Amino acid sequence: MTTITRTQTTATTSTSKLTDRVGPIVLALFRVVTSVLFLCHGLAGFGFFGGIDGHGGAVPFGSFPGFWASAIEVVGAVLILLGVATRPAAIVLSGVMAYAYFTVHAPMGLLPMQNMGEPAALYSWIFLAIAVTGPGAFALGRSKRSSVKAGQ
């Protein structure tokens, strides 16, 4: 009688261990880079980095939706950058960018390349992905329990 057993190859095991070890770090870097870029986008609404017109112009104080969108973008980007309340902040920012796409860009054309809405669409999906995957490593809001659970 012949017995067949399955064995894992060393390459699969070492790749899996590498992915388990590096994955949270790559996710954290993705979170940090995205939030810094988005923070710059939000601060532009207040006149930084050339402002909304390229000459330092800011949205009028209290105006809807410009001022409030910029305020939400800045607060949300800082929370995601720090890794504090990452999932709720990412859900809110995903919604803000979806709102921006459908109210500002979509009326100008069907496709993002036609209506200049590509950044809004991308940020909306990126923040949705962050909301689903979580903050990764180096997040201030990580609990001890989630660190132990993730094997870190």
CA distance 125 to 98: 9
What is the DSSP-derived secondary structure letter of residue 130? H
Give the per-residue pLDDT at 151: 43
Model confidence band, residue 11 (pLDDT cutoffs 50, 70, 90): low
Domain ranges for the chain, please list them.
24-143
Q: Is 51 helix (H, G, I), strand (E, B) or coil?
A: strand
**Three-state secondary-structure class, residue 138:** coil
Q: What is the pLDDT of residues 36-94, one digit of tens each?
A: 999 999 999 998 888 888 888 888 898 888 899 999 999 999 999 999 999 999 999 99
Classify the C-alpha dihedral 79-83-89-95 as positive or negative.
positive
Rounded CA separation 58/73 (Å): 14
